[in-house]
Each structure stands twice: as C-alpha cells, then as structure tokens.
Amino acid sequence: MQHVNLGMIGGGTVGSGVFHAWQKNGGLMAARLGVKINFRKIAVKAFDEPRPYPIARNLMTTDWQEVVNDPEIHVVIELVGGCGIARTMVLASLAQGKTVVTANKALISAHGPELFAAAAKSGANLYFEASVCGGIPIIKSLREGFVANQFPAIYGIVNGTCNYILSRMKAEGADFAAVLADAQKLGYAETPPDLDIDGHDAQHKIGILASLAHGFWADHHAIHTEGIRDVSKIDMQFAEKLGYTIKLLGIAKRISGRKPGVQVSVYPTLIPNTHVLAGVNGVFNACFVRGDIVGDTLFYGRGAGKDATASAVLSDVADAALDLKNGVKVRVAPFVPCNKGGRITSMAEIVSRYYLRLSVVDKPGTLAKIAAIFAAAKIGISSVIQPEGHEGESVPLILMIHDAPNAAMQRALAKIARLPVVKNPPVMFRVENFE
C-alpha cells in the first residue's frame, strides 16, 4: 500500500483534534483510500502547551521549518491561523511543491489570489475545506458536486457565535449583552468578540463561497458587512409578530439588470419563519445553495470546534492522498478564475424590503411626517405597528417597507432621523424573501 506523509504546523486545540481523529480513524481512511496516511512531524508552540488531546512527543518540534523543509513530507497542514506567519508558512510549502491543507479563512480571504497563483506556479495544490462552515463539505460541493451548475444565490448562516446569540435572544426574550456574556463564559465567543459579532468572520466565509461560485475573486474590502450589535429583544419580538426570525446572513446573489453583478454581503436579516434557515439554531451553521440545474439544496452542521474542523481537514488530506496515489498533484484546481468581467454590486444598488424601528413621540401627525418622507422618495410602506402609549411619550414605531434601493432608503432614513419627533437613531434590517 502506498504511503503519504503528513506534516502539521499547529498543535493546539484544532491540531490535536486532527491528530486524535487520525489516531481513531486513520486505519479506516487507509482501507477506503488504498493509501496509508502517516504523521511524520508536528510543529507546536511548546511541547507542554495545553491541548485537549495528547500528541506523541517524538513527533513534535518547535521549528515549523523542519516541517516545510522535510523532503519526506508530502502534505503540509497549516493550523496556525491569522495572516502573518501563516502566510509565510503556506507560501514556503507551496514553493517546494508540497500540497497544503489549511483551515485559515482569514488567510484565504485576504490573500487567496496570491496563494492560488503560488500553487499554480509550483504545480502544487491548496485545499481549504475547513475554512468555511467547519465540517460541512460546502467547498467540495461547490467545486465538484455542483460543477455543472451556475449559482443564482447562496445564503449562509456561517457564524455559530452570532447564531447562538440570536437563537437565545429569540427563545428567551433575552438582551443581546446578557447572551453575549454567557456565550463568552461558554467559550462560544472570544474576548473581545468583535470578529464574530461585527460580521467579519462571516465576511471571510461568504467571500470565499462567492469567489468559488462566480469565478472571480471577491475582495473582502468590497463586501458590505454589518454585525448584530443593533439587534435588540424588541426587534426579535416584533419580527416574530410579523412572521420572521432574525439571522446574521451571508449572501452571494446574482444581480441582473442594466449593470449585472453579484451581491456579496453580510448583515442581520429577517427570514420568514416558514423558510428552512429560520429553524437553524444554536451554534450550528447552514448554507442554502441554489443551483440553476440542481435547484435548492441545504447543508447543515457544526461550523466550528476541534472535531468538526478535524473532519474537514482530514477530508482534504484524503483528496491530497488520492491525488498523489494517482500520480497527480492537482486533480481539481483550488480556484479557477472564469469570469474576468465579474463585479461585486455596490450595496447602494441592491433592492430589498426593510424592517424599520423608530422611537417616536406619540402625538398626532408623527406618522404623517414619516410617511411624507417615504412618499417623496417613492418608497412604499407595507404595514405599520405602533403599540399604544400615552400622548407625548416616546414609543416604538415599526414599519415594514416595500422593495426599494438601498441608496434611496438610506437617504430617507437620514431625513427621518432629523425629525424632532424621532428620538433615537433609526434601526433598520433588510428582509429576505428568497425569491
């Protein structure tokens, strides 16, 4: 039986998880693949660093270059994270013609074109299944399973931390700050939690999916990104009354018209309670993929954690081992630029429906002033909810808005915010109907 030797850089939570999974099921992988996979060397920060699973001492080194420069190592697994030294490690491995497997979404998002070009130059391959949605095989599905499809739309709940927070806010009627504090205690959210709750983690992931789906690189700087800090329990309550659930949604959707393009964005979204994504709760991820041939499909599972990530990493290792077994380093290219004229549509051009919450003075004429601004902007109001209050008090006013361009909506909101009867900045979320 042919042997493939692995080197791994990173032996912490995820790295030890990969090693443990290989110890548990490496024999099963060999039987299925016809290739025996061996760990030859693992670079770690320190031999005695805390890790959930032990790593054999004779395999460890504190010098990552021993992994990259070992001529007996065929595949390098990078689990360091970040865009600094990890970029150097991956480029060094690719330059030597070694296949690289990475879980590093930030690195792929920020330096994807450079990394793919380096892989192509050396004839090596770069696998990154674990970079998006943990153990869900969404990368392989887009690249291989749906190779005959174009993708009119992809919608993803791709950040487990945000989904956990929003799920609990809805189920318990809890405040954002309280649930975030619990999420940090349970280890679901980092301290500080900005990468997750401000949408940047989801931005990395939906950008990668959009790039694969549409054949041009989605520059993360061009992706409109909003987090969940402005979602309150009152928004959850009113959304439920209206038949919706609020989720942080990554969207990669083809936009037709005079200037065709692709919407690539991340923001809190009202989803109809009848849609399958509305039922994705807790730390779970899901990707709803619409193919022009296959139709609608759903991918669901754990999006993070040592075991889910280990499953994805070892699936890439299996593909790499089969490539080598069959005498090729690249069977399926990591990224194929096939849409040179592709562009990310500006958020100002995107048309959607909206949920709007205002804090207004309860007195005659208030709604008329707001409606007049929308009418002047040619924006229609589909429904209004205003809880009863005492005249002169500040009360919430909930408006559901018909389809309107984002630019027109933002101009109208700026005028509404300046009205004396409006006491706090407007809170606006978009509504997705999945048509």
Active site residues: 205
Strand, helix or coil at 401?
strand
Among 173, 160, 11, residue whose Cα is nearest residue 78: 11
Half-sphere exposure of 53 (CA within 13 A, CB side): 17
The secondary structure of 217-264 as a DSSP string is ---GGGSEE--STT--HHHHHHHHHTTEEEEEEEEEEEE-SSS-EEEE
Distance between CA atoms of residues 435 and 427, nearest Å: 25
Amino acid at 36: K
Beta bridge partners of 270: 246, 431
Angle (deg, nearest 10), helices 160-172 and 233-241: 70
Question: Cα–Cα distance between 86 and 108 in angstroms, integer?
Answer: 11
Distance of CA 212 to the CA centre of its chain: 13
β-strands 261-272, 381-385 pairing:
unpaired
Polymer length in residues for the chain: 435
**Three-class DSSP category at 288:** strand
How many C-beta neighbours within 10 Å does residue 343 have?
15
Contact between 248 and 281 (Cβ < 8 Å)? no
Q: How far apart are CA 217 and CA 208, in angstroms?
A: 8
What is the CA 37 to chain-centroid distance, rounded?
30
Q: Are 301 and 260 in contact (CB under 8 A)?
A: no
Tokens at residue 287, please? 């990707």
